[in-house]
């Protein structure tokens, strides 16, 4: 006997999405990609302006300026990605994933700014290798140092401090492995 739908069994239907839902999702994805790209460009502009026209220009060697560009891409792109998600968390929510409260959103934005400052400080520190290494090796080192410097921060349980990236809060009685019984 087959496991397919028979005379006594209902047919399994795949969920259908309306054209409006698909268009809204596509607009959201395009909007997120646009803010992420514009944030990366803004980060690069900020860091190159700091490296050329401020007191930071004397602290960064010529062969290390690309490290600042890499840090600006990371910080700006991350900010451009997460700010719309935090704002969406303020507006949209369900019973399983409640909306963010304004204080939680403010805490998330402060944490994001702190992480951006951390990335920019790492990029200035790595740029100092431009004093002893050629530009190509400094860029290679920058990509790895800036790209992987956040990994120790990822191991910290930020939820204990009230910081959630996705806006998903868990209640005090729920655990990650708990399932609702049917």
CB atoms within 10 A of CB 167: 22
Whether 93 and 26 have beta carbons less than 8 Å apart is answered as: no
pLDDT band at 35 (very low <50, low <70, confident <90, very high): very high
Question: Domain segments of the chain: what residues?
Answer: 22-161
Does the pLDDT value for residue 4 go beyond 70? no
Q: What end-to-end distance do the CA atoms of the chain give, in Å?
A: 27
Question: Across residues 79-90, what is the average pLDDT?
Answer: 87
Copy the structure tokens of residue 71: 């840090």
pLDDT band at 14 (very low <50, low <70, confident <90, very high): low
Instruction: Report the chain's C-alpha Rg in angstroms.
Output: 23
Does the pLDDT value for residue 38 go beyond 90? yes
Chain length of the chain: 182
């Amino acid at each position: 006997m087959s496991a397919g739908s028979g005379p006594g069994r209902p047919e399994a239907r795949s969920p259908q999405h309306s054209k409006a839902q698909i268009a809204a999702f596509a607009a959201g994805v395009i909007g997120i990609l646009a803010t992420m790209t514009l944030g990366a460009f803004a980060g690069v502009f900020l860091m190159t302006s700091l490296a050329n026209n401020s007191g930071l220009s004397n602290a960064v060697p010529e062969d290390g300026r690309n490290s600042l560009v890499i840090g600006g891409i990371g910080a700006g792109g991350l900010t451009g990605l997460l700010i719309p998600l935090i704002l969406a968390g303020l507006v949209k929510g369900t019973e399983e994933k409640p909306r963010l409260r304004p204080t939680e959103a403010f805490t998330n934005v402060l944490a994001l700014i702190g992480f951006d400052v951390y990335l920019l400080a790492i990029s200035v520190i790595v740029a100092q290798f431009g004093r002893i290494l050629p530009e190509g090796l400094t860029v290679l080192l920058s990509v790895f140092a800036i790209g992987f410097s956040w990994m120790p921060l990822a191991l910290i349980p930020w939820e204990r401090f009230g910081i959630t990236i996705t806006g998903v809060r868990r209640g005090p009685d729920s655990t990650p492995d708990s399932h609702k019984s049917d």
